Every structure is written in C-alpha cells, then in structure tokens.
Structure 1
C-alpha cells in the first residue's frame, strides 16, 4: 500500500514538472545568440561559457563594462530588461555589417551611438525571439519570453532610474567572434518575476489550425460569402447547329412554352432552384419567387424543343 502511494506521488510530481516545463535558459541563450549572429550579421559567434544568476538591481548596475552598448528591452506586463554588448563584441558586429569582416584591432575608445544601436537592433530581436522559441516548453519561458528591443543608452548610469528595483535573472556569456578575432561579454538581464506566458505541457499537441472549430467556422463564412450566379430564364430552345449558324438580326425565335408567370430560376448546372413571376421594382425589371425550390434529387429542366421554323418578324 505504501509503495503504491509512493508511486502515485512520483507520477503526480512528474506530471506537474512536465506541465511547468524545465529550466534551460542558459543553454537556449547560447543557441539563439549564435543563430542570430549567423542569420542577421553573417557572423560566426561561439559562446565560451555562460552563467545564470539571480541579482538585485544594485548588483546588476555594477555589471556593464565601460563603453558597452546598453539596449533597453520591453516585455510582458510592462517589464523592462537590458542586453549589454561589451565594446569588443559591439565593434565586431559593426565591422561585419560595414566592412564584411572582423578585424583583430582593439575597439575605438568611444561611446556607442544611435547608428550602432540601429545596426544591432535586428540581431537583438532575432536572439530574443529565438530564445522564446527554444523555451516554448520550458519553465524559464515565463520570465525569459516576450522581450524585444526598445531603445539604448550611451552609458549605464541612468539604468538605476529606468529599471524597477527588483530581482533580475542575469545571463552572462563570454563570446568569441570570427574564430577569436574579437572576444567579449554579452549580458542579458530580465525581471526575475515571470510576467509572460506559461510553457505548453511537454508532449501536448495543439489542435491543427486546419481542423479546429475556429477554422471550420471561418471556412463556412468564406464559403457562404462566395458569389453564386443564378439565371432567370423565360424559356430554353434547342435548335440545329446549322440554323444557329444562319441567325441574322431581325429574325424572330418562337417561344411556345414561355410564360411571364413561370420563369425558371436555375443554377449554373442547369438545376431549377425556383419558379418566379416577372415584374418590376423601383423602375427596374424584377422577379418574384412563386414556388419553393424543388427537391435536390429533381433532374434539371430540359430545354423546350422548337419545331416551328425560323421566320421573319412581321
């Protein structure tokens, strides 16, 4: 009995862990940062090491190195975070995007500019988006997902006024650019209190969009909104092709079965949908339906044969 209860507790704990995801932001950040550098800047970036820590705002403010680019990030629940590129890393990215290669020269002793920020903004967003995708089934998604680039600072001094006085999860990575041409630090700091979406349970499969109720409803609305052409016919004639080829203006075609109170309303397949009476409304020709559509099994109306010869109008 005790063994059975213990087994049930283990299974329940496993199910709960699966529903909450699992930690993995440090590993996911390595992958997404390298992929973003490759895809956005055609730059080879390798992460030598990475750590994740829980820091106070005061501790976080001591991390940005001198002349680093400090990018402000916006996320769920009006949360603010930051991403820091040290001067060598920033210089390597800028060199790759401007001259197509990373040099071994030390970075210029200057502050980052708005142009620098514009050149790396796409890479930042790609890295953050990749991090979110990597964490879609991980518990870390709740605090690491949903952030995007918002602005930048020339130096880190105003950070104490911008950021909330709270705890932050800080990912620090030492990176190598272009096989060691430049090395430096990348720092990602996000509010520790998770305000984003929770991860999907592991192994859960969402209902395909092509088969869900919403898709069925939308498809039905599209079908019902599609144009459908119907024809109001006074009569149908069947004539030999030779006679049709000799038709001339002024000739009269006899309509022996035509009646203005028995107009056939047909679909494009020739199937009769209703019977109507000819009239007018608001100065325009119109028809009034007089009979309900026949059963769907009814055969299409056959054209009326015309035996009378074609004559000349009197």
Structure 2
C-alpha cells in the first residue's frame, strides 16, 4: 500500500537534499556563527541566524532570484577569484541605523536607491564576518576559499553582478537573520566560487599555520633574576646613596650567580655569559649539557675576566727547582690578583656584561 506525499513535504525534502551529497556543512556553520558574532562585537547589533541554506549553482543561474534593489558587494583575491555578498534593504537599513542613531527601528525602510556610502558602512561588517568564518573552519579547502578576499566595488544591478561572477560553479549560502530580538529581519546571501581540493591545500599553505604548544611556549615571556651578590646595609647608608656611589660587592663571582625565582628564593645557580651576541645565563652548569646536533646551533661563551691569570694546572713545578724567591713572588702575585677583585673592577665587569659604559675610576685619595 503506497501513501501519497504532499507537495509541500516533497519540496522540503528536495530542498534539504539539494546539492548536499557527502559535502561537509562545516563552512555553512562557520558562516552562520560568524554573522552573529561579527554583528554583536563590531556594531553591538544583536543578531541571530534563524535560517540557513547551502545550494550549488552554475554560473548561468548564480544570480537567479535576486532583485535589483539589493546591495551587491564584490570581493576579489589577488589570484582573481571573485565572490559576492548580497544584503537586502532591510538588513542594510538596520546596520546604518545602529551606527548613526544607536538603535534599530521596527518600521520598514523607505524604498530608495542604495549608494556607495551605504556600501562603505556595511563593508566592515562583511569583512569581519569573512575573517571570523575563516578562523572557525578546520578544513584546509574551506579556509582557502575564505582567505584573501578584499572589497573591490559595488555592483549597481543584477546584470553587473552576473558579469563579474565568471567562475564555473558557486556555492550559495543564504541566511535569514533576526535583529535586536525580532525587531527586524534581513537576508544575507554569500556566493563563493568553488575550488578543487588540491588547489585549496596549495592556497592553505600560504596561510599562517597554527602554533603548536612547543612553538607557543617559545614566545612566552619569562623573567629571571640573576643575583650577583647579597649584602646587608644599614638604613642610613642606603638612604645616603647617590648617583656615582659604589657598593662593595664582597665575594661576587660572575661564574657562580644565584638564579632567584619569583618568590626571591634561590632556585639554582648559573654562569653569566653571552650566546649569539646576546647576554645569556647558563643554568645548572654542574650538569654537562648535550652537544648541539644542528650545525647552526650557537655555542655558549662564558664571561671571562680580562685579567684572569693563566691556569697552570698541567704544569708541575719541582720543589727542588723552586727557590724561595719564586715562592714569595708567586704568593705576592696571588695576593695582588685577589686584591684586584675590588669594587671598581667588579663594577666594570658588570657594566660590560650589561652593555653599559664602564664607570669612571676615582682618583686615589
């Protein structure tokens, strides 16, 4: 026994199945969300999409169903692909009223010819919508279809629009938008040219890739406090300090500094130096770091004192050959080197490491 299907139900079923097949609806959902978010965040215009439909059309019938009184906006890419966004008069009037008077009126707009000034006030909303939709889609081909479009002109009528759309096939995305909680309704029609999957992947390669967790962590700002010396000063001495005064950094060593955490407690030790022409600090230098595998890896150059004595660890001096004068001379040199680690010299080393001019030495009193 067969049942008769009504004509209205048949039209609904055919409309729902038209042009679908296995095609993804991700682009339709992205555009629907982008319209509502762009209206709210761009112009504080409350908008919700209450109807959405996607249909594939050939170039000969791409403008079928349109009227000359609508707003025809043309967008193009550097490659020459042309797309169009069609807005009805009700939606254009609502966007202009929101920008000029701060609210949308329920009265229908008076019939008039749309101008380039009207287009200039609506274009920012459309550009924001296209950019948001591109960021919402995950498929490479869908992202490439929305990438690179810029506003070029306004088509004055339906015939001019038909001549500008020269691609073989287009996807028509039609949305019914409710504004300000039902005060006004309007329609948005987006005509996007189709591209192949291979072309979409090639275009997507030019887009900025999403950063992985490791790449994003590389741009996170981190603050390290290198403590060269800790000292205790009376409050009166600290209050009397002025420009040019020097502090005695007793026991300060640039090869054994403290790395302080955010709570000012010592987290580890390090060595001041430079890497790639920039100031750097090597942390946990007690552990032997692995050798760099890449040839372009830059090595760490530790900061060395200009007057550091030559190490004589591999030279063995015989006690029989060393005379008393040599021993006293070596002892005097060691004492002199220790004495040279004074406040002025440490200040000069720190200034050099920080890229500051060396302090002027004071004449001896």
Match of 1:90 in 2: 92
Query: Do structure 1's residue 104 and structure 2's residue 106 form an aligned pair?
Result: yes
Take 1:170 and 1:153, find their aligned partners in 2: how far apart are those partners?
17
> 1:122, 1:170 → 2: CA distance?
21
The residue aligned with 2:348 is: 269
Give the structure 1 partner of residue 120 of structure 2: 118
CA contact (8 A) 1:45 1:177 kept: yes
| Displacement after TM superposition at 1:114 (Å) | 1.1
Closer/same/farther in 2, CA of residues 105 and 223 from structure 1, 3 Å limit: farther
CA contact (8 A) 2:62 2:162 kept: no
Q: Which has the higher contact order (CA 8 A, sep 6+)?
A: 1
How far off is 1:60 after superposition?
1.2
Between the aligned partners of 1:206 and 1:163, the Cα distance in structure 2 is: 42
Confirm or deny that 1:198 pairs with 2:204. Answer: yes
CA deviation after TM superposition for structure 1 residue 190, in Å? 0.9
Return the alpha-carbon distance in structure 2 between the equivalents of residues 270 and 222 of structure 1: 16
CA contact (8 A) 2:58 2:168 kept: yes
- Give distance in 2, aligned partners of 1:128 and 1:165: 19
- TM-score of the two chains, using structure 2 as the length reference: 0.50
Say whether the 8 Å CA contact 1:143–1:193 is kept in structure 2.
yes
Which runs of 5 or more structure 2 residues have no equivalent in the other structure? Answer: 1-23, 220-274, 281-305, 307-344, 353-360
RMSD value over aligned CA atoms?
Answer: 3.6
Give the corresponding residue for 1:228. none
Structure 1: give runs of 5+ residues left out of the alignment.
1-21, 213-218, 225-231, 233-265, 274-302
> Structure 1 residues 304, 184: closer, same or farther in 2, change over 3 A?
closer
Change (3 A) 1:305 1:100: closer
How many equivalent residue pairs? 211
1:211 aligns with 2:213: no
Deviation at 1:144? 3.0
Deviation for aligned residue 1:154: 2.6
- Measured against aligned partners, the alpha-carbon deviations of 1:110-143 in whole angstroms (never above 9, x if no partner) come to 1211111111111111101000010144642232
TM-score, scaled to structure 1: 0.58
Q: Is the 8 A contact 1:54 1:192 kept in 2?
A: no
Shift of 1:99: 1.2
Distance 1:153 1:267 in 2: 74
Structure holding more strand per residue: 1
- CA–CA distance in structure 2, aligned partners of residues 221 and 110 of structure 1: 66
